[in-house]
């Protein structure tokens, strides 16, 4: 026999399988530790998410509610004519309103004597609103009309709990301690209540004199127009570029160079795209400032690399056997791509596009540079006006509100974040649904 058998060999695995040796114990301990680290990391992430959501919801949800005073009043033709005949017309309407309010409060068993100042502290100047209503709807004269009038922002905050009675000194000129008693009484009588604030979703930005009336609607529209521009530019350009690079382009140094640069472009900070847009689109091409069109162009540049990278990845994921099969039956390169490869890559392309759009939707920095942070107090009139007229966008509007001093605007900023997140969430859900629906197996 050979030399090897001369020396008795002891097996390395001589121990019993029923007990673990030291090495196995160490390995198992290592694995257990690693799992614990992983769970801890997930817990930290979940905790951060919970804190974030709690902060956003607790601060932002009140923005969706507002306090209104609901009063039924009837103005007769004589009263209308008399009021229109005086010099201070709104004052007359205010008097009529006070009479109506007082009688309703009396009916509810509340004894409150209103003077003009108290009314102004609670409701602001209501005469103008009421006069405008009757001038526009003369047929309502003599009928019972229910007015929903926005309560003053301090009453609003008092009802939401963010303004306490103790915070107000007796020399405050906006609100007096006894106003709280009136507000409480009106609330009990059902005259003062909190309702869902549609105006926050549909309205436009307002100045500091009316923070409660500010809405995010116009900026939603601005964001929408930007997304249209991005979708109609970035999707075709991005998909065409990726199909060419992935399926047709020869693999040489030049295409390698392009590929590296696309990846680099994806990592460029968005503010750089903003200043590029300012220099090229506004200063060189003289496109209008603050326009969603320019915002969309800048965001297109920013979104393109994302779309190209995800499209190329999903094209790569289509098995080569499908291309072979198509070429094998005599399809041209283009037929094989458009008939077979592209449909299979579509879910990935759509997902990448929607993720890119969602990223663009939340982008703020480039918008600051091209002037989309202005004060936008009206909706665009036409589609073209929506594209090239000045507007803001959701994140820019949120930034704008957060920078204002009135706490009501801060609350609006939090509310705006909720709306922005709802849009992002909706887009991501659409991406998931599209992926599920179009996904095919091979």
Partner 1 sequence: MLDDQQLVDRKVQSKEAKIAARGVNVHYGVTHAIKDVDVDIDHKTVTAFIGPSGCGKSTFLRCINRMNDTIDVARVTGDILIDNENIYDKKVDPVQLRAKVGMVFQKPNPFPKSIYDNIAYGPRIHGLAKSKADLDEIVEKSLRRGAIWDEVKDRLNAPGTGLSGGQQQRLCIARAVATEPEVLLMDEPCSALDPIATAQVEELIDELRQNYSVVIVTHSMQQAARVSQKTAFFHLGTLVEFGETGQIFTNPQDERTESYITGRIG
Examine residue 328 and tell whether it contacts partner 1 (CB under 8 A).
Answer: yes
Which positions from 222 through 261 interact with partner 1, judged by CB under 8 A? Answer: 250-251
Examine residue 317 and tell whether it contacts partner 1 (CB under 8 A).
Answer: no
Shortest gap between Cβ of 343 and partner 1 (angstroms)?
A: 8
Select from 325, 403, 425, 426 the one that contacts partner 1 (CB under 8 A).
325
Those residues with Cβ within 8 angstroms of residue 15's Cβ, 6 or more apart along the chain or in another chain? 21
Q: How many residues interact with partner 1 (rule CB under 8 A)?
A: 22
Task: Report d(CA 228, CA 388) in Å as an integer.
Answer: 13
Select from 157, 312, 340, 412 the one that contacts partner 1 (CB under 8 A).
340
Examine residue 67 and tell whether it contacts partner 1 (CB under 8 A).
Answer: no
In the numeric block, the tokens 């959501």 are attached to 53
In the numeric block, the tokens 């392309």 are attached to 349
Shortest gap between Cβ of 246 and partner 1 (angstroms)?
A: 13
Is residue 72 within a helix (H) or strand (E), and if so which, with residue range? strand 65-74
Shortest gap between Cβ of 254 and partner 1 (angstroms)?
A: 14
Examine residue 1 and tell whether it contacts partner 1 (CB under 8 A).
Answer: no
Q: How far is CA 36 from CA 41, 43, 50, 78, in A?
A: 9, 10, 21, 81
Do the Cβ atoms of 196 and 101 come closer than 8 Å?
Answer: no
For partner 1, give the closer residue by CB, 6 or 329: 329
Select from 32, 321, 422, 429 the one that contacts partner 1 (CB under 8 A).
321
For partner 1, give the closer residue by CB, 161 or 250: 250
Tell whether the torsion through CA atoms of 124, 128, 132 and 134 is positive or negative: positive
Shortest gap between Cβ of 286 and partner 1 (angstroms)?
A: 45
362, two tokens:
């939340």
Examine residue 323 and tell whether it contacts partner 1 (CB under 8 A).
Answer: yes
Q: Which stretch binds partner 1 (CB under 8 A): 39-47, 221-229, 295-303, 314-322?
A: 314-322
Residues, the chain, total? 442
Shortest gap between Cβ of 256 and partner 1 (angstroms)?
A: 13
Q: Is 109 left (phi over 0), alpha (psi -120 to 50) or beta?
A: left
| DSSP label of 341 | I
Strands, E, within 81-170: which ranges?
Answer: 144-150
The C-alpha angle with vertex 154 and arms to 151 and 155, in degrees rounded to 5, equals 45
Select from 339, 378, 425, 429 the one that contacts partner 1 (CB under 8 A).
339
Select from 22, 330, 382, 437 the one that contacts partner 1 (CB under 8 A).
330
291, two tokens:
């326009």
Select from 344, 354, 387, 394 the one that contacts partner 1 (CB under 8 A).
344
For partner 1, give the closer residue by CB, 347 or 356: 347
Those residues with Cβ within 8 angstroms of residue 270's Cβ, 6 or more apart along the chain or in another chain? 302, 363, 365, 366
Q: How far is CA 394 from CA 231, 414, 424, in A?
A: 17, 12, 11
Shortest gap between Cβ of 338 and partner 1 (angstroms)?
A: 11
For partner 1, give the closer residue by CB, 265 or 331: 331
Residues that bind partner 1 (CB under 8 A): 250-251, 319, 321-332, 335, 339-340, 344, 440-442
């Amino acid at each position: 026999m050979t030399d090897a058998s001369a020396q008795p060999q002891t097996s390395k695995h001589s121990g019993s399988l029923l007990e673990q040796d030291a090495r196995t114990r160490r390995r198992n301990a290592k694995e257990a530790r690693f799992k614990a680290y992983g769970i801890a990391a997930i817990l930290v992430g979940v905790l951060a998410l919970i804190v974030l959501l709690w902060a956003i919801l607790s601060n932002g949800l009140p923005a969706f509610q507002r306090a209104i005073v609901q009063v039924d009043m009837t103005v007769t033709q004589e009263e209308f004519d008399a009021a229109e005949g005086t010099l201070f017309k709104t004052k007359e309407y205010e008097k009529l309103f006070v009479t109506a309010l007082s009688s309703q409060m009396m009916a509810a068993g509340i004894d409150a004597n209103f003077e003009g100042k108290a009314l102004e502290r609670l409701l602001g100047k209501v005469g103008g609103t009421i006069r405008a209503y009757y001038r526009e709807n003369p047929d309502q004269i003599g009928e019972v009309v229910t007015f929903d009038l926005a309560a003053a922002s301090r009453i609003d905050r008092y009802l939401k709990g963010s303004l306490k009675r103790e915070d107000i000194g007796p020399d405050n000129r906006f609100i007096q301690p006894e106003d709280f008693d009136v507000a409480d009484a009106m609330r009990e009588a059902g005259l003062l209540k909190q309702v869902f604030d549609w105006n926050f979703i549909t309205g436009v930005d307002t100045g500091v004199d009316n923070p409660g009336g500010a809405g995010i609607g116009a900026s939603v529209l601005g964001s929408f127009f930007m997304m249209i521009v991005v979708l109609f530019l970035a999707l075709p350009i991005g998909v065409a570029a990726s199909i060419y690079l992935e399926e047709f382009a020869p693999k040489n140094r030049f295409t390698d160079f392009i590929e590296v640069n696309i990846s680099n472009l994806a990592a460029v900070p968005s503010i750089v795209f903003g200043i590029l847009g300012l220099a090229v689109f506004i200063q060189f091409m003289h496109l209008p400032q603050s326009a969603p069109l320019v915002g969309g162009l800048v965001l297109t540049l920013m979104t393109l690399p994302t779309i190209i990278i995800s499209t190329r990845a999903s094209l790569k994921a289509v098995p080569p056997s499908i291309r072979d099969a198509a070429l094998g039956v005599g399809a041209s390169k283009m037929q094989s791509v458009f008939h077979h490869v592209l449909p299979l890559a579509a879910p990935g392309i759509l997902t990448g596009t929607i993720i890119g759009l969602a990223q663009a939707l939340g982008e703020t920095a480039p918008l600051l540079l091209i002037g989309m942070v202005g004060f936008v107090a009206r909706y665009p009139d036409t589609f073209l006006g929506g594209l090239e007229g000045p507007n803001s966008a959701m994140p820019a509007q949120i930034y704008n509100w957060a920078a204002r001093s009135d706490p009501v605007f801060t609350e609006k900023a939090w509310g705006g974040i909720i709306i922005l997140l709802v849009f992002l969430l909706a887009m991501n859900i659409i991406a998931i649904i599209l992926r599920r629906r179009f996904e095919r197996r091979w």
